[in-house]
Amino acid sequence: MSEFFSNPAVTWTLLTTGGILLVVIWVLLSLAFLLLADRKIWAGVQMRKGPNVVGPFGLLQSFADFFKFVLKEIIIPAGADKVVFILAPLLSLVLAFVGWAAIPFAPGWVVSNLNVGILYLLAMSSLGVYGIIMGGWASNSKYPFLGALRSAAQMVSYEVSIGLIIITVILLAGSMNLTTIVEAQSGWFWNWNVFGGGLRNLVLLPVMVIAMGMFYISALAETNRPPFDLPEAESELVAGYQVEYSSTPYLLFMVAEYSNIVLMCAMISVLFFGGWNPGFPTDFLVSWGWWGNFFLALVFFAKICFWFFMIAMAKAIVPRYRYDQLMRLGWKVFLPTSLVLVVLVAAWRVFGPGA
């Protein structure tokens, strides 16, 4: 038995599987409470109380919803393409969770320390559109199909600006490895990429603040959140691509959507706000050992929560865009602006004092 466990391949497999399980459970548990927080924040803005019946302060509301979804009957429309219809929510969920593999939670706490981690994240978030398109098409119904087409065009458009903004961060950090990007922002908070990545680059502050703002807005569009929730605009398309979905498949779509949102929050934190770095030198953590890592992971989680709060507030206070305005913003405003930002950052890196 001990021989079996000392085999490096077996150890590696067990460790990786354990890591994956830990991350998935952590994400699912946080989602349950972040979903509640989302509803509470929304309610608070509208001066309502929000869910407050199940458990103290409604804390168990998400679990009650979970059981309600799971216990209902799955209805598959007669005209639907059954395989694709069921495959779509599964694909959405898988793609929403694989992205977490590259996110570094604390020094060394990452499932897969990819060299091209940032590209991997971009690739996985761009694949997310397939779940929506397949779901909308397989429903064999007009409104879901319209929603699917809208989301296809929307997500492809905003990926372009997200990709270009990510390039500015890659230029600052000089690496596509997410751990390296986070480590490059260690120390005081002015080393964070949103401040240009260090006092020497403080000139880049306006550039990176604009980049961060655009990334935030593009993240809203990429995850189909209000004000860009046109794929499921309830006033026009009933519920968009989800109209025909019920019970567990619908739950999978919803969990995937929220997982994507939290992943985007994690991406903003990693790319612009120093990931696990609390904003001051962390040399004192060396003596803490394992608890030091735990503290840094908590800092990272706090940043994710902050950005989730920002996204929830955007849902509460911003009216929905019209589709032509959405396209105009993506192609005529964000694309040229982000191109200029890339040129500015690249020029600073080549001709600036740090070159």
Partner 1 sequence: MQAIAFYLLAFVTLAAGILVVSARNPVHSVLFLITAFFSAAGLFVLLGAEFLAMLLIVVYVGAVAVLFLFVVMMLDVDFEELRKGFAQYLPIGGLVAGVLTLEMIFVAATVANNGKAGQNANPMASPEGVSNTEAIGRVLYTDYAFFFQLAGLVLLVAMIGAIVLTLRHKPGVRRQNIADQVARSPKTGMELVQIKPGEGISE
Strand boundaries in the chain, DSSP class E: none
**Interface mask toward partner 1 for 148-167; x: CB under 8 A:** xx--xx-xx--x---x----
Least distance in angstroms from the C-beta of 177 to partner 1:
8
Least distance in angstroms from the C-beta of 280 to partner 1:
31
Contacts 24+ apart (CB under 8 A), 194-202: 194/272, 194/273, 196/172, 197/172, 197/173, 200/353, 200/354, 201/172, 201/348, 201/352, 201/354
Least distance in angstroms from the C-beta of 37 to partner 1:
30
**Interface mask toward partner 1 for 40-79; x: CB under 8 A:** ----------------------------------------
Pick 112 or 247: Cβ nearer partner 1? 112
Q: What is the dihedral of CA 115, 119, 121, 127, to 10 degrees?
A: -140
**Interface mask toward partner 1 for 168-207; x: CB under 8 A:** --------x-------------------------------
Q: In terms of Cα–Cα distance, which of 231, 286, 266, 215 is closest to 100?
A: 266
| Separation between Cα atoms, residue 201 and residue 353, nearest integer Å | 9
Q: Assess contact for 276 and 298: CB atoms under 8 A.
A: no
Return the residues of window 90-149 that contact partner 1 according to CB under 8 A. Answer: 114-116, 119-120, 122-123, 126-127, 129-130, 133-134, 137, 145, 148-149
Q: Which amino acid is at 309?
A: F
51 phi/psi in degrees, rounded to 5: -65, 125
Q: How many residues bind partner 1 (CB under 8 A)?
A: 30
Q: How many CB atoms lie within 10 A of CB 222?
A: 25
When binding is defined by CB under 8 A, the residue of 84, 94, 297, 313 that contacts partner 1 is 84
**What does the angle CA 18 – CA 304 – CA 331 come to, to the nearest 5 degrees?**
115
Least distance in angstroms from the C-beta of 184 to partner 1:
15
Q: Which amino acid is at 145?
A: F
**Interface mask toward partner 1 for 314-333; x: CB under 8 A:** ----------xx--x-----
Q: What does the DSSP 8-state code read for residue 27? A: H
Please report whether residue 339 would count as binding partner 1 according to CB under 8 A. Answer: no
Pick 33 or 323: Cβ nearer partner 1? 323
Least distance in angstroms from the C-beta of 21 to partner 1:
21
The tally of CA atoms less than 13 A away on the side-chain side of residue 123 is 8
| Separation between Cα atoms, residue 193 and residue 157, nearest integer Å | 25
User: By the criterion CB under 8 A, which residues form the site for partner 1?
Assistant: 9, 81, 84, 114-116, 119-120, 122-123, 126-127, 129-130, 133-134, 137, 145, 148-149, 152-153, 155-156, 159, 163, 176, 324-325, 328
